[in-house]
Amino acid sequence: MSSIGVLIILLLISSIPAIAVFIWFRLTHNQFSLPRFSFSLLAGAVSFFPALLFQNILSAKNGIFNVANKWGLFAEIFARIAFTEEFSRLIILIILVILLRRLEQKLTDSQNIENISSVTLTSATGLVAGLGFAIIENVVYGASNPGNTLLRTFTAAPLHGACGYRVGSSISIFRDNPVRSFFRFLSAVIIHGVYNFMLIIPGIFPSIVAILIALFSLISSILAIHNGMNPSKE
């Protein structure tokens, strides 16, 4: 099979979680427009590249990220990897949210999202962006190790979706509660870092814990979005 064919297959496999979320939005009539979904997915994919740039810059720092010692290992996992990826997602999402607010009146179903809180809408945007990031990351890493793509699709993708939700949530509440916003963003970094840390520990149990962290974090994010878009009527 040609390299282009392999990349197309990797892209299709990596897109499964995003497709599933899109179908969920349609089936449950969640008021999240197709343009917003598309822009969010694209923004998440774009955020992969500044994260890669930040990681390359930080790798030039001698000694700080030396994995031979425990503090260097923690710095590598939580700062160079988890923080840079969440920070990149934060920057791109802020730009996206500003643009969407200006363009919202032009969206075909903008009148359908008037009653959705900005917190829910921006948090859902973050979740979709996280899945967009995962698509590009899976394709890039899968190109060198195709056999690992399916596993990453159902482990790393939920993680990025859950962390993206928290980053989006931190943006939406920043103006009203900056402290809470900071800790919401920090929770994304910590969840991401703990997931990565568990994966490097030898044995099957730490890997299972990492997968459970990703899945339960994603489930809690989806439930929060569902409740926010479908508030109970009194």
In the chain, % of residues over pLDDT 70: 83
Distance CA 88, CA 51 (A): 5
Tokens encoding 221: 């994010």
* Any domain includes 53: yes
Nearest Cα to Cα of residue 225 among 23, 30, 19: 30
* Any domain includes 72: yes
* Any domain includes 35: yes
Q: How confident is the model at residue 1 (pLDDT cuts 50, 70, 90)?
A: low
Instruction: Work out the average pLDDT over 127-133.
Output: 97
* Any domain includes 178: yes
* Any domain includes 212: yes
Asked whether 169 and 225 are in contact (CB, 8 A), the reply is no
Lowest-confidence region among 59-68, 73-82, 185-194, 200-209? 59-68
**pLDDT tens per residue across span 28-56:** 777 788 888 999 999 999 999 999 999 98
Burial class (CB in 10 A: 0-12, 13-18, 19+), 105: exposed
pTM: 0.88
* Any domain includes 63: yes
**pLDDT tens per residue across span 4-28:** 777 788 888 889 999 999 999 888 7
pLDDT at 146 over 90: no
Distance CA 89, CA 75 (A): 19
Location of structure tokens 């990351």 = 137
* Domain extent at residue 152: 3-229
The interaxial angle of helices 178-200 and 84-103, nearest 10 deg, is: 140
3-state SS, residue 15: coil
* Any domain includes 179: yes
Give me the number of domains the chain comprises. 1
* Any domain includes 234: no
